Structure 1
Amino acid sequence: MASRSYGQYCGVVTALEQVGERWALLIVRDLLVGPRRYVDLKNGLPRIPTNILSKRLKELQDDGVVRRVPLAHRGLVYELTDRGRALEPLMLALGEWGFGAMGEPGPEDIVTLDSMTMAFRTSFRRDVAAELPATRYEVHVGPVALNLAVDGGELRVRPVEGGPLVRVADGELAEEADADLVIVCGPGIRELVAGTVTASEAIAAELVSVQAGDPALLDRFARTFHLDPGRTPSGA
């Protein structure tokens, strides 16, 4: 801990000493989606050096944020402790805050299952969804394909056709879901989520392609998953 000490007695300082090192919060982000083996974490963060990943995991374990446990059919995995999972509201607020400054992706920027899962959790408008009929979406963004099941103000996320485990809010694993609307999109989905284009404009501009289901449901999707780049994050 001494090497990470800021030398100040403050809750913010303690938080930074525990999760403020480079890559630490991205490890937390991925583990908020579900338990991961070491190789899963490495594949989800391809630029992290293996020695840094091992070091960060050891630090997070020492600080009581992460633990290593056996999981049926997957061997030993890393998962968040209760203290680690308590970071979720902070992570969602941080993602919402960063959304306004994202800009266009760089040529080497990638999306992963875990990053997109957290992106949809961040943009999910629970109050709006509670007033809308239950709807299941299948969303393809680059190599990532997710089922988003929205029902009564609750969101459940699962990879399409299996994949890494994804935990939902109650700690159980989401079940396979059929979809009312199947869409394929690229970085342009950001404009739909930001509200800078309407659903019909997104289709016309080929930012989003409807592969199955009623295209009119894309408007419901845009209302359910929305982030205003100029809005103060809800956690503030």
Structure 2
Amino acid sequence: MTVKEYGQFCGLARAMEVVGERWTLLIVRDLLLGPKRYTDLRNGLPNIPTNILAARLRRLEAHGVAVRRALPHPDRGVVYELTDHGRRLQPALTALGRWGARTMTEPRPGEITTTESRALSFHTAFRPEAAAGATLGYEIRMADVTFALSVAGDRLTVAHGPHPDPDLVIETRSGHPVLDLMRATLTPAEALAARSIAVEGPESLLTRFTEIFRL
């Protein structure tokens, strides 16, 4: 496999040789949520050509960023997952996502929002220093997907589906209120007054949410 080299003895140059090509970091983003079949990755990145996806996965495998693993019985098939080396990219992706989110307003024509990108947005917005000492569970219900957020001090876990024991349920009713809350363009009081969200649980935990999750 030919590696495009920058000719510089630099850590950033080395990193760009591995993950700097188009689509690669978005593949890593989706794998940070857990193992994925090839079809899962294809569905999560609907605009990627299949030959490019296959090539990027081969490159990630060749550099020890991802591996293929056969699913045990009774499941069938193969999944791709990040190695420990690959998972160390998460802080870099989080920082890049936070930097990029500051320029976002409304989706551009033709842009979509995937389940994976929404899940990673919570990691991007998570402020460990604000969550210090907290043990909280949030269930975020959107029109087509539900997320379970579990905060344990400076650690965050994001899963698809309902939270088993949420301290607060946030249900979106219109617009993008969760993103607006995290970007501080909407206050909890304004969101509740406009009925763009509904909550189940103490409203004070909605304010706590905006402290812990801030872009």
Give TM-score scaled by structure 1 length. Answer: 0.81
Secondary structure, counterpart of 2:32 in structure 1:
helix
Question: Counterpart of 1:199 in structure 2: which amino acid?
Answer: P
In the other structure, the counterpart of 1:148 is: 149
- Using CA pairs under 8 Å that are at least 6 residues apart, name the structure with larger relative contact order, 1 or 2: 1
Question: Counterpart of 1:116 in structure 2: which amino acid?
Answer: R
Residue 180 (structure 1) shift: 2.3
Residue 211 (structure 1) shift: 4.4
The correspondence of residues 66-215 of structure 1 with structure 2, limited to 5 A, is 66-72=66-72, 73=75, 75-132=77-134, 134-160=135-161, 177-185=164-172, 186-207=175-196, 209-215=197-203
Contact 2:3–2:17 (8 Å) recurs in 1: no
Residue 194 (structure 1) shift: 1.7
Residue 18 (structure 1) shift: 0.8
Cα distance 1:131–1:41, how it changes in 2: closer, same or farther (>3 A)?
A: same
Number of matched pairs: 211
Provide the C-alpha distance between the structure 1 equivalents of 2:39 and 2:102, rounded to a whole number of angstroms: 32
Residue 198 (structure 1) shift: 1.6
Secondary structure, counterpart of 1:14 in structure 2:
helix
Contact 1:135–1:150 (8 Å) recurs in 2: yes
Cα distance 1:153–1:15, how it changes in 2: closer, same or farther (>3 A)?
A: closer
Provide the C-alpha distance between the structure 2 equivalents of 1:24 and 1:143, rounded to a whole number of angstroms: 26
Contact 2:138–2:150 (8 Å) recurs in 1: yes
Could you give the per-residue CA deviations for residues 67-100 of structure 1, whole angstroms, max 9, x where no partner exists?
1012333531101112111111111111111111
Provide the C-alpha distance between the structure 2 equivalents of 1:110 and 1:184, rounded to a whole number of angstroms: 21
Contact 1:111–1:144 (8 Å) recurs in 2: no
In the other structure, the counterpart of 1:233 is: none
Residue 159 (structure 1) shift: 0.7
In the other structure, the counterpart of 2:21 is: 21
Provide the C-alpha distance between the structure 2 equivalents of 1:102 and 1:182, rounded to a whole number of angstroms: 26
5+ residue gaps, structure 2, are: none
Cα distance 1:69–1:101, how it changes in 2: closer, same or farther (>3 A)?
A: same
Identity of aligned residues (%): 48
Provide the C-alpha distance between the structure 2 equivalents of 1:54 and 1:194, rounded to a whole number of angstroms: 35
Provide the C-alpha distance between the structure 2 equivalents of 1:213 and 1:70, rounded to a whole number of angstroms: 42
Contact 1:113–1:145 (8 Å) recurs in 2: no
Give TM-score scaled by structure 2 length. Answer: 0.88
Provide the C-alpha distance between the structure 2 equivalents of 1:180 and 1:109, rounded to a whole number of angstroms: 33
Residue 7 (structure 1) shift: 3.6
Provide the C-alpha distance between the structure 1 equivalents of 2:155 and 2:89, rounded to a whole number of angstroms: 19
Cα distance 1:219–1:127, how it changes in 2: closer, same or farther (>3 A)?
A: same
In the other structure, the counterpart of 1:230 is: none
Residue 115 (structure 1) shift: 1.3
Contact 2:177–2:186 (8 Å) recurs in 1: no
